[in-house]
Amino acid sequence: MKEFIIALLVISFVICDQNAIFLNETYYPGFISVTEKSDLFYILFQSRSNPSTDPLVLWLNGGPGCSSLLGLFEENGPYKINDDATLRSNPFSWNSNANLIYVDQPVGTGYSHADARDLAKTEEQISNDFYSFLIQFFDKYPQYLGRVFYITGESYAGQYIPAISKKILEEKNPNINLKGIAIGNGWVDPYYQQPAYAEYAYVNHLINQTEYKKLSAQFSICQVFINYEAPYRLQEYFCEPPQEKIVGNNTFNIYNIKSPCIGTGCYDDQDNRIYQFLNKTDVQQLLGTQGRVWNACVDNVQNSLIKLSYRSSTQDLKAILNSGLKVLIYNGSLDYECNYIGNEKWLENLQWKNQIEYLKQQYSYVFKNHKIVGKEKNAGNLKFLIIFDAGHMVPMDQPEIALDMINSFIQQ
């Protein structure tokens, strides 16, 4: 009884908001300190269905150094942002059947603050900071203690998610009931993903056969330096030129080869709308972020992690797969930057307990309303899914299919 009363008291001190600006969704914003001078900003949205029993799903964007609030407003959150910096409801939000939390991490990303000495330089530091965040988060929201928990994200989160998940497994904390991870268009293993740039560009007629052969030879040299874990500058020296030849000679959108590229980031108009909204005085008062400036991506966070650009997260993923946790790897077929060919390659070469079974599998088509929308293969606790007519941001390009995907994953 005493523990129950304490839990109720803790809950009563947690700020829960509903207001017209945020379209009366139930949300919990806040900061959690992970060092003496650095913190992580989060915003938690209550499930639209059964918040007391639905799973807890975490979403992380990549970069590194890019805010997870990009995913909130551009992809799978409860809202989309209008041209006048107001919100409209997203019917395909991932909080349809889950309690959904977005975290600006590593420290210094988005709304989060970082002391210069706390900027992460290793995935170990990132996972330690995030584990500290989780411990304090569950203390603050005890209703989620032991709740089924999934970690999801995209792009460079293909490095974050395996590191964080492995840390959780190692800690064996009974209060953190991690059941699985989902990585979309992930940057996981550059050894295989670097040469996939040439193959993907050739298959999609972005380069010709002669260019493909020359670039493939250059990427083979790049692989040697990645394999021997050469200093970052040497890896960059041999890996960047062939990549630049593909992108520099074309004007395609690297995140969706069938969409126009607007601005240096290809989605600058959307990023600017989010910037305007999150830096409005009334919005910051509601979020408790007064005195801070939100930015989509932060250079000093990225620069601090630059030496990890060619790091592989497959050792962490092997431990996760062998533990029995569910793993979903998904890709939009139109993404060049972290394309499906590169993900196919590292998955085929990943040595884990069900590798032989995975290699035997053939793709089967995925249907929605009698229409083929993708293809997938499964082995044990691993699923690889390719979603057609989607780019780097799958929930943005195919929101209904992405919602079906995550609902199926968390409800199995």
| Rounded Cα–Cα distance for residues 298 and 63 (Å) | 9
Start-to-end CA span in the chain (Å) = 34
**Angle, CA 129 vertex, CA 125 and CA 131 arms, to 5°:** 115
Among this protein's residues, is 408 annotated catalytic? no
Rounded Cα–Cα distance for residues 410 and 412 (Å): 6
Spatial distance between the Cα atoms of 146 and 174, rounded to a whole number of angstroms: 7
335 among known catalytic residues? yes
Which residues contact residue 135 at a Cβ distance below 8 angstroms, ignoring those fewer than 6 apart?
Answer: 173
DSSP annotation of 364: E
Say which residue the tokens 């005195």 belong to: 291
DSSP state for residue 55 in the 8-state scheme: P
Q: d(Cα 54, Cα 354) in Å, to the nearest integer? A: 30
Taking the mean position of all CA atoms in its chain, how far away is CA 28?
21
Torsion of CA 221, 224, 230, 232, to 10 degrees: 50
- Backbone phi and psi for residue 87, each to the nearest 5 degrees, phi listed first: -105, 150
Residue type at 346?
W
Supply 207's token pair.
């380069």
Q: Of 54, 189, 271, 335, which residue is the catalytic one?
A: 335
Dihedrals phi, psi of 29, to nearest 5 degrees = -100, 160
Strand ranges of the sheet holding 326-332, from the earlier edge strand across to the other edge? 27-33, 39-45, 99-104, 56-60, 148-154, 177-184, 326-332, 382-387, 371-379, 364-368
Token output for 117: 């000495």
Q: Phi, psi (5° rounding) for residue 44?
A: -110, 130
State the catalytic residue, choosing from 155, 165, 313, 333.
155
What amino acid is encoded at 407 in this protein? N
Residues 215, 246: Cα–Cα separation, whole Å: 9
What is the token pair recorded at 56? 């807890």
**Catalytic residue positions?**
155, 335, 392
